[in-house]
């Protein structure tokens, strides 16, 4: 697994921040019908039990929004991926179907409220640092084009920024050629729920994406 650290700047603004990193070999499928059936069941469960105005107050979402404000970003304008997914589930009772690897990630996210990064680890160059975006820093988000990441928590490698809790980048995106996958669960509040989410993520990746050679590392926290 790539070496992953948290910058002093970000750690000072978010003392409880911790990451759970899962690196594994995967088998890519455009659609996994069993996984999608599980996702549809979870969508129905959430849509029936959660009101739209409750989402921002969920512990993981609330902690993420506080972090964006602490770093200088408006979480309402640059919505976190987990919040965006949950709003789509509650408002429209649906999610985008992407592929088995990304769909498993999204299931973990709507189940826990954690924003989660998913990357083709072979596209990551060298060590990774989780820091804060700089003014004018270039970033092309998946399906979003150029994204202003100034003041946003951001993952960087030797080639620059490649992941944020709002949108992952085109450069390290999962494709049909992906064989090595890195999932990073972001817990801005340092809760015990991160361990449960990690267990769920590993289980789904093994069950629906043939995950093998699994490595798990927790970073940060007290």
pLDDT of residue 221: 66
Range of the domain at 168: 4-220
The pTM assigned to this predicted structure is 0.95
Q: How confident is the model at residue 57 (pLDDT cuts 50, 70, 90)?
A: very high
Strand runs labelled E in the chain:
4-6, 18-25, 115-120, 128-132, 140-141, 145-146, 153-157, 160-163, 180-187, 212-220
Residue 222 has pLDDT above 60, yes or no: no
Name which of 187, 27, 202 is nearest 105 in CA terms.
202
* Short-list 175, 179, 35, CA closest to 100: 35
Read off the pLDDT of residues 84-114 as tens digits, 9 standing for 90 and up.
Answer: 999 999 999 999 999 999 999 999 999 999 9
Which pair of structure tokens corresponds to residue 159?
A: 């080639």
The pLDDT of residue 121 is: 98
Q: Tens of pLDDT along 114-123?
A: 999 999 999 9
What would the pLDDT profile of 82-92 be if each residue is shown by its tens digit?
999 999 999 99
Q: Please name the residue that has the structure tokens 């979003």.
A: 144
Q: Give residue 82's Cα distance to chain centre.
A: 7
User: How far apart are alpha carbons 161 and 22 in whole angstroms?
Assistant: 19
Task: Please say if the pLDDT value at position 159 is more than 70.
Answer: yes
Which residues lie below 8 Å from residue 212, measured CB to CB, with a gap of 6+? 24, 25, 26
Distance CA(101)–CA(93), nearest Å, equals 21
Residues facing residue 22 across a β-bridge: 183, 216
- Structural domain tally of the chain? 1
Asked whether the beta carbons of 18 and 190 are under 8 A apart, the reply is yes
Which CATH number characterizes residue 152's domain? Answer: 3.50.40.10
What pLDDT does 138 receive? 95
Where would I find the beta strands (DSSP E) of 53-152? 115-120, 128-132, 140-141, 145-146
**Strands (DSSP E) found in 11-127:** 18-25, 115-120
Q: Are 198 and 215 in contact (CB under 8 A)?
A: no
Dist. CA 3–CA 38, nearest whole Å: 33
């Amino acid at each position: 697994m790539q070496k992953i650290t948290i910058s002093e700047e970000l750690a000072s603004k978010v003392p409880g921040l911790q990451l759970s990193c899962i690196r594994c070999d995967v088998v890519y499928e455009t659609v996994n019908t069993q996984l999608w059936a599980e996702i549809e069941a979870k969508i129905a469960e959430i849509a029936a039990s959660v009101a739209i105005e409750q989402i921002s107050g969920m512990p993981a979402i609330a902690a993420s929004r506080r972090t964006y404000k602490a770093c200088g970003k408006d979480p309402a304008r640059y919505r976190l991926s987990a919040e965006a997914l949950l709003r789509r589930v509650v408002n429209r009772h649906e999610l985008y179907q992407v592929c088995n690897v990304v769909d498993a990630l999204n299931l973990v996210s709507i189940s826990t409220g954690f924003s989660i990064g998913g990357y083709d680890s072979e596209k990551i160059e060298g060590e990774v640092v989780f820091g804060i975006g700089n003014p004018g820093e270039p970033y092309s988000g998946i399906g979003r084009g150029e994204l202003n990441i100034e003041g946003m928590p951001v993952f960087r490698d030797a080639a620059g920024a490649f992941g944020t809790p709002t949108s992952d980048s085109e450069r390290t995106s999962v494709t049909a050629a992906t064989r090595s996958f890195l999932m990073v669960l972001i817990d801005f509040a340092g809760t015990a729920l991160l361990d449960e989410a990690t267990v769920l993520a590993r289980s789904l990746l093994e069950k629906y994406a043939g995950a093998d050679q699994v490595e798990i590392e927790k970073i940060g926290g007290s």
